[in-house]
Amino acid sequence: MLGYHFISDFKWLDALYMSVITVTTVGYGEIAPLGSAGRIFTMFLLLASLFIIGFSLRAITEELLANNTLLQLRKKKLTKTISRMEKQVIICGYGRNGAQVAAKLQSFHMPFVVIDKNEAVAQRVPKDIVFLQGDANDDEVLLTAGIERAGYLIAALPDDASNLFLVLSARQLNPDLVIISRASDPSACKKLTMAGANQVVLPERIGGDHMASLVADPDLITFMDRLGMGGKEKTNLVEISLDTLIDARGAATLRDLNLRHKTGCTVIGYVSESGQYIINPEADQLLDPKGKIIVLGRSEQIDALHQVFSF
C-alpha cells in the first residue's frame, strides 16, 4: 500500500509516459499535472535519453564508416596488386580443381588471381592468395582481374554451361589469352573448343585412367608420380623458352647449351617454333630461338638452373 501511494503521489508512471512521448517527439502534452519530484525525474530521464540516443547514433555511424572505409581500402589494395601483375593466371572457381591449380602455381611462384562468388569460399581462401569475390561470368569482374594483361585463364566453374559462357566472354576480352577449361561431360569438350578454349580437361577421365594404370603398370605409374612440377620432394619437370635463357644466346645446339654439365639437369624434350615435339633429342639438335626445351632435374638441380640461366 505504501509503495502504491508513493507512485501515485509523485506521478512516476505519468512522468515516464510523458518522457517517452517527449523523447519520441510525439508530443501529446501533459496527461496529468506533475509535482516537483516528477519534473525532476522527467528532466533526468530526458537528458539520459538524449545522451543514450546520441551515443548510439555515433557508435552506429562510426561502425558503418569504419566498415565502409576498410572495404574501400581492401578493394584499393587488391586493385593495386592486380595492376602490377603481367601475364598472370586467372583461376575462375575455387573448388577442388581450382584449389589444386592455385597450390601448384604457388609452388612455381607464378602470379595468379582467384575469382569465386561464393561467400563461404571467400572465408576459407588463404590470406596469401589474391582473391576477387564476384561472378566470373561478369565482364567487369574479369576486367578487374586484369584479363587484358593475363596470359592464362583456368575455367574451373562447377558446371559445363558456366564454363562455356566464361570461355566465350574471356575470348572476346582477350583474343591472345590461353584458356584451359574443365569439363564434366565429354560431349562438352567440342563446344568448349569451338567457344575458344585452347585445352579442355576431363578430371574424372584422368582420375579413372590413372587408377587403371596403377593396376596395369603400378611401378611405372609410381615412378611417374614422382616426376612432379614443383616442390622439394619430387623430381621436377620444367618447360623453358629458349629466348628467355640470357646466358644461352648464340647456342646453336643442345651440345652448345651444355645444360647437363652446368646444372645437372637433363633435356628430355624439345618443342620447335612450329609446334613439333621431339622426345629425348640428340645433342646435335638444332635450337630455334623461339623454341622450348623440357628439362628434368631434382629440386637442387632446378635451383642451379635458375642460378646459371636468367629466365
Does 294 have pLDDT greater than 60?
Answer: yes
Please check whether residue 94 is in contact with residue 125, taking contact to mean a CB–CB distance below 8 angstroms: yes
pLDDT band at 165 (very low <50, low <70, confident <90, very high): very high
What number is the average pLDDT over the span 143-161? 94
- CA gap 159, 157 in Å, rounded: 6
Alpha helices in 151-253 (DSSP H): 160-173, 188-195, 203-216, 218-225
pLDDT band at 38 (very low <50, low <70, confident <90, very high): low
- CA gap 191, 187 in Å, rounded: 8
pLDDT in tens, 178-188: 999 999 999 99
pLDDT in tens, 121-145: 888 888 889 999 999 999 999 999 9
Grid coordinates given for 239: 618447360
pLDDT band at 30 (very low <50, low <70, confident <90, very high): low
Helices 160-173 and 188-195, axial angle in degrees (round to 10): 10
Regarding the domain delimited by 228-308, which CATH topology (the fold level of the hierarchy) does it fall under? Alpha-Beta Plaits (3.30.70)
* Residue 3, pLDDT score: 44
- CA gap 95, 184 in Å, rounded: 14
Q: CB under 8 Å to 305, separation ≥6 — which residues? A: 238, 259, 263, 265, 295, 297
String of b and e for 18-27 (b: at least 16 CB within 10 Å)? bbeebeeeee
* Residue 68, pLDDT score: 59
* Residue 10, pLDDT score: 46
pLDDT band at 176 (very low <50, low <70, confident <90, very high): very high
* Residue 108, pLDDT score: 77
Regarding the domain delimited by 85-207, which CATH topology (the fold level of the hierarchy) does it fall under? Rossmann fold (3.40.50)
What three-state secondary structure class fits 99?
helix
- CA gap 4, 62 in Å, rounded: 44
* Residue 161, pLDDT score: 94
Q: Tell me which H or E stretch contains 227.
A: strand 227-228
Beta bridge partners of 235: 227
Domains 2-76 and 85-207 share a fold: no
pLDDT in tens, 213-268: 778 878 777 777 766 545 555 567 888 888 777 555 567 888 888 888 888 889 99
DSSP state of 131: E
Share of the chain above pLDDT 90, in %: 33
CATH number of the structural domain 2-76: 1.10.287
pLDDT band at 4 (very low <50, low <70, confident <90, very high): very low
Global model pTM greater than 0.75 = no
Looking up cell 560431349, which residue turns up? 187
* Structural domain boundaries in the chain: 2-76, 85-207, 228-308
What three-state secondary structure class fits 238?
strand
* Residue 155, pLDDT score: 96
DSSP state of 147: T
Average pLDDT, the chain: 80
